[in-house]
Structure 1
């Protein structure tokens, strides 16, 4: 009986080693007791100890940590009232001026930096232990890559406040290794010069690989906050009227230009029977309707549902459109065993919105020319180079489609300078809150290749993915599943 798989752990000396899987349940129970005793000796928070259970450690240590990280998101939501997940939750709860959750008084520059660093740490934990489980699944392959262990050790120590970049490098290295390339991390030269990240070789072909993560758009975060501000009065009006309504809006202007009472006036008119359930004006178009409780009550009679989740929204309005942001409020009964889950909902209001104005789309569709320019400076001049740019986005299909087109155009006339940059890969990650009953979060992933200038050099890594097994992927792009053309490339 195979109880689990090998796990990657860090010893007291900082060295990383593989721990053999527990082969029996008593062995898993012993490990749980030992881990709990060690954590108690370190004075860790009591909430962490809840995850030192044999049933979690029976698989491997990774699953215990993964469940603990999920609990952090639950606690952030419970303390803020937010319904977001992943990076969006971190940005809204720990970012902003002021943040909804502050770890200090934030009266000095040092304290504000500490707050920012803590937000990066939590965001990185979400990224490492909730998303790229492929690192854990392919641990043996990862440890076979020269230099990977040093990068992982640095990630766990010196780079803990900014872990996303290191994780991205490990995922890219695994992609080349899986495709049959001899892969090794390039030796670093601290204080001398910045170097590229990877050297890969297959037969007579050699490439220098550089990996960069692109900063998220602050415009997207500000737009989400403004949308919540506009939706809040609608929730108050629905609750006061004892009505359950769904309002959907497509804005035609930037949200900062929308009057504070814009949605409230339409909701008030509808609830007072003085207004229609549809409108169209200079600010956008919208509809309002009563919520059909049939599906929600049918499911809640048999199962608890996480309050405010995308699954809850889907049950209330019939479908969950990931192109829309959603705000939800209501009266509900918490589950006896899971306080963040609802066993009944008595009243609810949902506001869904998206911004289709050309100005807003352009501001969210930030291209990565400047990021590629920085990466190019680290490439050598004696071999062809490729840059992988990681882009995490929740801007919606319109903005993501425009971003893809802009990146393609920017790379066509990009000047690589003295380097021999030939290809750029855009690794697009679109976090979404899953509507499945057994998931709380999911990621849509698209890998797009962009030829730099005009040449005949074949791309080194066609049809690769970083998080998703390649056998389970489709042609096309996540922002337009019906469009197969942009990324369908001939096999080489």
Structure 2
């Protein structure tokens, strides 16, 4: 957000123009459909609960501007409304065109592709038999698992786009059944959909271990007073290191003397590089602009750049924090920082083989569940979705696991003719978002997979670039992301 009136006017015009972008128009179309199904009164009540929750979180997180922020996002104040996931998602979508200064980029980037795809193909989505029951489950049910249900809906749309007649199958309280029944001419199949959780339990544990060491380091950096950015690579599991490892490494770097280009040390457990944050550039940016609280732009100012798959942690002392937008009881997550007194930031990763192995979660368990729900006397197709959030090295390992699991799996007497794995990478950028997607296909019979699904990408919006590669390989070699 700009301070100067002229720059403010330009920003407002830009936000208004964003509302005409194809993905926004499509997302709004799906939101309107969902809201019509949910009911206005029901939505007002559930939206109010979302707003109340985040107002409470802001009171906890936002300090007096003279103090250093103790932690940007603690484990007990995570930016998500776990009590009612779909209401949280709907609030973010509604805010795109009603409250443009409201956002939580790390969450919204995950859901924009789903809502846009549903809205883009809403006419055929409404033709799917059983869709209203599925919307009831999504919007009114008690499962509170919208990620899996949204995945089922976009899979159904994909089949409909490929010329199949699609039907959602009702749930059976006595036995598990497939999700969809598809038919085209004389061909008929069941379809089962499964989606992995966003991150593995190991990833959550690893982050907690990082934070234990980071909390100790912050106290030392505050005593040192000089604003710094540190880049940390763990060679062993973080949990196997001393809780003082960052403190000891940082003090060793201080003894060597930090230079503007950075000073690094390395041992058997860790590589750490420390450099001063150029506060003149930071202040210069804030002189012209305000920056969204806890955003990629904020990180980029302190780190000198932003890696969408990187792990970042930051603390700083804001000179002022402003809520942008009308005080209408519907705005939250609309905070912007107008400057900082000082800042400390870190980027970290663990490259230990065991860490990569545990973060590269396989699909075998989901595949087993999907096969168990397939009937014994009818051909079935399985679709598994997962997010690729840990970077290329982890995804190379995961892809190898998936290949081995699907090829070697004992399907017993089940007639599973094909398995599709949809790898999805929502990516937040400094001022935008992207979505990369890779489909891995495994045919188990002589069936021509192209004949089965000619279009097997879920989010191939207009102007999508499609290449015969994985998006993690393109990331690794430095190419643009596959969409």
TM-score by length of 2: 0.74
CA deviations 1:49-85 (Å, max 9, x no partner) are: 9xxxxxxxxxxxxxxxxxx77x96686466357646x
The 8 Å contact of residues 251 and 355 in structure 1, kept in 2 or not, is answered as yes
Aligned 8 A contact 2:263 2:275 in 1 = yes
* Higher RCO, 1 vs 2 (CA within 8 Å, ≥6 residues apart): 2
Counterpart for residue 185 of structure 1: 168
Distance in 1 between residues matched to 2:355 and 2:145, nearest whole Å: 29
Q: Contact 2:322 / 2:337 at 8 angstroms: preserved in 1? A: no
- Taking the TM superposition and a 5 Å limit, the aligned residue runs for 1:74-473 are 76=57, 79-80=60-61, 83=72, 93=75, 99=76, 119=82, 121-122=84-85, 125-126=88-89, 129=93, 130=108, 131=111, 132-134=114-116, 135-191=118-174, 193-215=175-197, 216-273=199-256, 277-338=263-324, 340-436=335-431, 439=432, 442=433, 444-451=435-442, 453=444, 455-458=446-449, 460-469=452-461, 471-473=463-465
Root mean square deviation, CA, Å:
3.4
CA distance in 2 between counterparts of 1:249 and 1:160 reads 39
Deviation (angstroms), 1:352? 0.8
Q: 1:205 to 1:79 in 2, by over 3 A?
A: farther
- Greater percentage in helix: 2
Post-superposition offset of 1:383: 4.2
| Deviation digits for residues 361-397 of structure 1 (CA, Å, limit 9, x no counterpart) | 1011111112111111222344432111121343332
Structure 1 residues 295, 382: CA separation in 2 closer, same or farther (over 3 Å shift)? farther
Work out whether residues 387 and 423 of structure 2, in 8 Å CA contact, stay in contact via their aligned partners in 1: yes
Partner SS for 1:8: helix
Partner of 2:48: 48
Separation in 1 of the partners of 2:379 and 2:465?
A: 28
In structure 2, distance between residues paired with 1:231 and 1:202: 57
Q: How many residues align?
A: 407
Q: What are the Cα deviations for residues 149-192 of structure 1, in whole angstroms up to 9, with x where unaligned?
A: 1111122222342232222211111121223222221344332x
CA offset digits 1:74-129 (Å, max 9, x no partner): 86466357646xxxxxxx74xxxxx458xxxxxxxxxxxxxx9x736337834995
Rounded to whole Å, the distance in 1 between the matches of 2:88 and 2:323 is: 26
Alpha-carbon contact 1:427-1:445 (below 8 Å) kept: no
**Larger deviation, residues 208-217 vs 458-467:** 458-467
**Distance of 1:240 and 1:483 partners within structure 2:** 38
Is the 2:443–2:449 Cα contact (8 Å) retained in structure 1?
A: no
Taking the aligned partners of 1:373 and 1:296, their CA distance within structure 2 comes to 52
Q: Go from structure 1 to structure 2 and tell me whether the alpha carbon gap of 1:416 and 1:83 turns closer, same or farther (over 3 Å shift).
A: farther
Q: Structure 1 length as normaliser, TM-score?
A: 0.73
Question: Shift in Å at residue 304 of structure 1?
Answer: 1.0
Aligned mates of 2:180, 2:243 — CA distance in 1: 51
Are residues 9 and 444 of structure 1, via their aligned partners in 2, closer, same or farther at CA, if it must alter by over 3 Å?
closer
Residues 245-294 of structure 1 deviation map (CA, whole Å, 9 limit, x = unaligned) = 11101111001011111111222233355689211111121211111235
Q: Structure 2: give runs of 5+ residues left out of the alignment.
A: 1-19, 62-69, 94-107, 325-333, 478-483
Alpha carbons of 1:136 and 1:458: their partners in 2 closer, same or farther (altered >3 Å)? closer
Contact 2:230 2:274 in 1 (8 A): yes
SS of residue in 1 equivalent to 2:322 = coil
SS, match of residue 315 in structure 1? helix
Shift of 1:244: 1.0
Secondary structure of 1:336's counterpart equals: strand
User: Structure 1 residues 232, 123: closer, same or farther in 2, change over 3 A?
Assistant: farther
SS class of match (2:213): helix
Partner of 2:466: 474
Deviation at 1:9, TM superposition (A): 4.7
Does the 8 Å contact 1:463/1:470 carry over to 2? no
Q: Distance in 2 between matches of 1:39 and 1:169?
A: 24
Q: CA deviation at 1:456?
A: 4.8
